[in-house]
Amino acid sequence: MTATRPAPRPSLARNVALLPSPLRPLHGRRATPLALPDNIICFRRSLATDLNRPQRGRALHHRFVLILSLATAATVRMDDRNIRLQAGEGLLVFPFQFHDYIEPERAELNWLFVTFELLEADAMLPLRFHPFAITPVIEQLAADLITAYLTPGEAELTTLLLALLLTRVRQSKSTLRQNQKPQGASELVSRVNQLALRTGELLSAKEIARSLGISVSHVRARFRASCGVSLGRHLRRLRLEKARGLLRLSRSRVFEVAEQCGYASIYSFSRAFRVAYGISPLGYRHGKRARHLAR
């Protein structure tokens, strides 16, 4: 008996009927260069008490964090803003943003986290501070992403599915919920980060204050009140996190990364990196494990 091929799904048949018969079938659409996500980690949180783990307090790092809330609302504090993330909504945390979680609706929750690195972030900027609806398309892509992530040997498929998922999230901008306003009169943390990341020079608190048009003591006090850490410590950590991203994603040599992050010498950079992360910059680039990097 000869096996018969199943009939195409009606939606596919309709779409095929819409296609033209091209006069020049060898000339198609050319793709633009894609910036693909890298170093992807998927995990879930099922208890509200686990949301701020493994690091207690306000996290800050060079990775993106895509959050999909499948059940239970909670508030995500991002820099100066409190954003209520409802069940059925998602949110994208950008690199170098302070973030933690407060006011969960219930003790039990079901949140999907996808953390990743991405060299070109400009395309994601419309999602900054904006929750989005988890549409059926986004939900299905997330399910496919988890399946690929849990399947050995499917690293490339995992990358491609996350890239497609992020594209669908960006296209859902019409469903984006209006973001909450900053808690203060101005977005102090975001403005400090923009100033610090705009230049490779070592910015002092005095230079930050001058750029913001306020006194040094005032900017120090407001920053500590917003983030719970000193401005000086934040700037040092910000440069090191930027260095981690460059070591992972760029081809710059270690001394070039040190210069781009405002260090006067490769020796001072290597010493600061090792103290912070328990590994040398070169060891981190080569993927060696360290005691401080399990996050």
Shared domain for 239 and 130, answered yes or no, is no
**Is 60 exceeded by the pLDDT of residue 294?**
no
Q: Domain containing 116 — which CATH number?
A: 2.60.120.280
pLDDT tens for each residue of 155-189: 999 999 999 999 999 888 655 666 555 554 447 77
Tell me if 3 is assigned to some domain. Answer: no
Shared domain for 70 and 123, answered yes or no, is yes
Picking from 175, 197, 230, the residue at the C-terminal end of a domain is: 175
| Tokens linked to 194 | 């923009």
List the domain range (segments joined by +) for residue 258. Answer: 188-285
Tell me if 26 is assigned to some domain. Answer: no
Taking the alpha carbons of 168, 171, 177, 183 in that order, is the dihedral positive or negative?
positive
Picking from 110, 144, 175, the residue at the C-terminal end of a domain is: 175
Tell me if 181 is assigned to some domain. Answer: no
Shared domain for 209 and 276, answered yes or no, is yes
Tell me if 277 is assigned to some domain. Answer: yes
Q: How many domains does the chain have?
A: 2
The CA distances from residue 284 to 52, 209, 288, in Å, are 25, 34, 6
pLDDT at 134: 94
Q: Domain containing 252 — which CATH number?
A: 1.10.10.60
Q: 175, 138 in Cβ contact below 8 A?
A: no
Shared domain for 171 and 195, answered yes or no, is no
Name, of 8-22, 107-121, 146-160, 281-295, the range with top average pLDDT: 146-160
Tell me if 42 is assigned to some domain. Answer: yes
pLDDT tens for each residue of 90-139: 999 988 888 888 899 999 999 999 999 987 777 888 888 899 999 999 99
Shared domain for 132 and 153, answered yes or no, is yes
Output the pTM of the full model: 0.71
Query: What is the rounded distance in angstroms from the CA atom of residue 238 to the CA atom of residue 261?
Result: 9
